[in-house]
Amino acid sequence: MSLYYPVFLNLSKKRCVVIGGGRVAERKTLALLKAGAEVTVVSETLTKRLIKEKDKGLIKHIERKFRSLDVRNAFLVVAATSDRAVNARVAEASPFLVNVADNPKLSNFIVPSVVERGPLKVAISTGGASPAMASFIKKEIEALYGKDIAYFLTFLRHFREKVLREINDNAIRRKILASVVSEDMMEIFKSEGYRALKGELLKKYRALKEG
């Protein structure tokens, strides 16, 4: 079993190539677009959704079968055809990062199950031992952290900037920022929700700021 190094990639403006134009390729392409990648799809045919993305100018489409030159200088490549032999050729030709949808052994990275709640992104992988378990854990995390966590994290980003901007004393800064994720604060979040926690944090901030 491979031991994977967990990492989040910044794909903004990076050249990514998807080989294939079916449902799997569609899913992979949309995920790459969401991450800000510049995506080229190589396939003789495209799904209706991929055609729409092409018509909007969001993807580049090379309308033919795969050639090794298609992945030259690509930062990341996804092989998502229904032909295992073609996928193997894609893996062999790829210069850097490659994911083969139907064969993790030919990939040098895998795409985990992901829970997204605004700025929060939790990646879940069992290293291929049990995709079903990864799916089960994903559902548990989704139930534990609802949409309120996205609002809370957005607030925390602005709250941290406010503290760094307005508080010059490093000791008080640390005390305020540490109090944000204390057990007491998180208990308020779980039992009363984001708005109650936001009010409590602002109250505590004013008290600590005034000494």
Query: What are the structural domain ranges in the chain?
Result: 1-111, 112-144, 148-210
Class of domain 112-144: alpha beta
Work out the number of other CB atoms within 10 angstroms of the CB of residue 8.
Answer: 8
Q: Provide CB contacts within 8 A for 133, sequence distance 6+.
A: 126
Determine the Cα–Cα distance for residues 26 and 201; give it in Å rounded to an integer.
43
Q: Average pLDDT, stretch 84-110?
A: 93
What is the pLDDT confidence band of residue 2, given thresholds at 50, 70 and 90?
A: low
Q: Average pLDDT, stretch 142-170?
A: 88
pTM comes to: 0.79
Cβ 33 vs Cβ 56: under 8 Å: no
Higher pLDDT, 184 or 140: 140
Residue 200 has pLDDT above 90, yes or no: no
Class of domain 1-111: alpha beta
Residue 58 has pLDDT above 90, yes or no: yes
Determine the pLDDT at residue 191.
86
> By percentage, how much of the chain surpasses pLDDT 70?
99
**Which residues partner with 59 through β-bridges?**
39
